[in-house]
Amino acid sequence: MDMPIAAIVALAAGTLAFRLAGPLLRDRVRLAPRLEALLATAALVLLFALVVTSSFGGFAKPAGVVVAGVLAIRRAPFPVIVIAAAATTALLRFIGVP
């Protein structure tokens, strides 16, 4: 299996550029408070979209994530939320749910 170092460096360089743009530009321009609030909301929107898209596949995984969501709304402690999600998915798979 071949993965040239150049390909890994290209992926790393592009990724660094995405990461660098915000901190670089923000140091130079002063943003209005409203725009700052918009950027924080944008990050939340992206993180939730990541939750939705990475929960795909079968029934066991989305079920585990739904359990996490319910526990989070009920303000369960963080470890309880994460472990309950993994345990739900693992249990469902153990009894043969895809």
CB 81 within 8 A of CB 68: yes
Q: How many whole angstroms separate alpha carbon 96 and alpha carbon 10?
A: 41
Q: How many whole angstroms separate alpha carbon 64 and alpha carbon 60?
A: 6
Tell whether residue 23 is a contact of other proteins (CB under 8 A).
yes
Q: How many whole angstroms separate alpha carbon 62 and alpha carbon 53?
A: 10
Tell whether residue 97 is a contact of other proteins (CB under 8 A).
no
Tell whether residue 52 is a contact of other proteins (CB under 8 A).
yes
Tell whether residue 32 is a contact of other proteins (CB under 8 A).
no
CB 62 within 8 A of CB 83: no
Among 30, 59, 94, 96, binds other proteins (CB under 8 A): 94
Least distance in angstroms from the C-beta of 80 to other proteins:
9
Point out which residues bind other proteins (CB under 8 A).
1-5, 7-12, 14-16, 18-27, 34, 37-57, 60-61, 64-65, 68-69, 71-73, 78-79, 81-82, 84-91, 93-94
